[in-house]
């Protein structure tokens, strides 16, 4: 638990299935975790309360990624409470199932929502927390941003066309920001395949089994495996930036 003792991590979308696993993984590594939420205040607060104790207290704070003013307020509150932010995990995202040939079903409002949340949101969060992340550099370790992407960025197969495009944009933005913010801040993407969250478990079993069967490792990703990759970027992959780290069981190979 001492690997990141005294560090502070902000996780947007922290109350979701993957987000919650990331919050737990970072707390187990020693981080004080800010569970960022938009509308899930109750679950976020409950998660913050059950995370393992570390040197600094955990918190649940409002972090609607499509609201720049709210993200600036979040950064100010993190500064007030902790005086630092070592890690930002951009896990907030949105989508809706629309068959790829159904161009009319992918209406302008949904397109704007997906791009605002999945692309502009991570950028806005980095912009708001950049001063704290840059100030976190010490002992040769940089501040760290981890964007939660998807293999849909590579395979162009996912919940809808614009979701796939948004994740491709996120990976491209990861590389651009890694160059722009070095050496003070490292920026990486962690790119899962379909993760076996509670939401996915509630879907049609035959569909889930089909997705697992198309994966060379013959199963879906576990949220804990995505979280382990995030923690590894902070604790072990300390000379890595601008990379997209796959946690997909080899799915693009199929």
Q: Which residues are catalytic?
A: 163
Write phi, then psi, for 184 (nearest 5 degrees).
-70, -30
Distance CA 34, CA 22 (A): 11
Q: Are 118 and 172 spatial neighbours (Cβ–Cβ below 8 Å)?
A: no
Is the bond preceding 183 in cis, omega lying within 30 degrees of 0? yes
Cβ burial of 110 (10 Å; 0-12, 13-18, 19+) is: middle
Q: Within a 13 Å sphere around the CA of 51, how many CA atoms are in the beta-carbon half?
A: 33
Coil, helix or strand at residue 214 = coil
DSSP 251: G
* Tally of residues, the chain: 254
Distance CA 104, CA 88 (A): 36
User: How far is residue 173 from each of residues 41, 118, 156, 242, measured CA to CA in Å?
Assistant: 29, 11, 17, 9
The CA radius of gyration of the chain, in Å to the nearest whole number, is: 17
């Amino acid at each position: 638990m001492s690997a990141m003792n005294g560090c502070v991590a902000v996780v947007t979308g922290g109350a979701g299935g993957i987000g919650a696993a990331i919050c737990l993984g970072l707390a187990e590594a020693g981080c004080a975790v800010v569970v960022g939420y938009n509308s899930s205040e109750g679950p976020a607060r409950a998660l913050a309360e059950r995370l393992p104790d570390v040197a600094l207290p955990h918190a649940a704070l409002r972090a609607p990624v499509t609201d720049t003013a709210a993200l600036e307020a979040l950064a100010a509150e993190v500064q007030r409470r902790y005086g630092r932010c070592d890690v930002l995990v951009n896990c907030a995202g949105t989508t809706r199932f629309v068959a790829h040939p159904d161009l009319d079903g992918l209406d302008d409002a949904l397109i704007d929502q997906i791009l605002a949340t999945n692309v502009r949101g991570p950028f806005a969060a980095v912009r708001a927390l950049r001063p704290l992340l840059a100030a976190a550099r010490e002992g040769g370790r940089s501040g760290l941003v981890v964007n939660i992407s998807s293999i849909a960025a590579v395979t162009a197969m996912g919940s809808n066309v614009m979701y796939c495009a948004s994740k491709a944009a996120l990976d491209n933005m990861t590389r651009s920001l890694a160059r722009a913010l070095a050496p003070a801040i490292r920026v990486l993407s962690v790119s899962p395949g379909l993760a076996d969250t509670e939401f996915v478990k509630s879907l049609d079993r035959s569909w889930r089994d089909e997705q697992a069967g198309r994966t060379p490792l013959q199963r879906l990703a576990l949220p804990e495996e995505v979280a382990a990759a995030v923690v590894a970027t902070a604790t072990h992959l300390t000379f890595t930036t601008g990379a997209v780290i796959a946690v997909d069981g080899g799915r693009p190979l199929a």
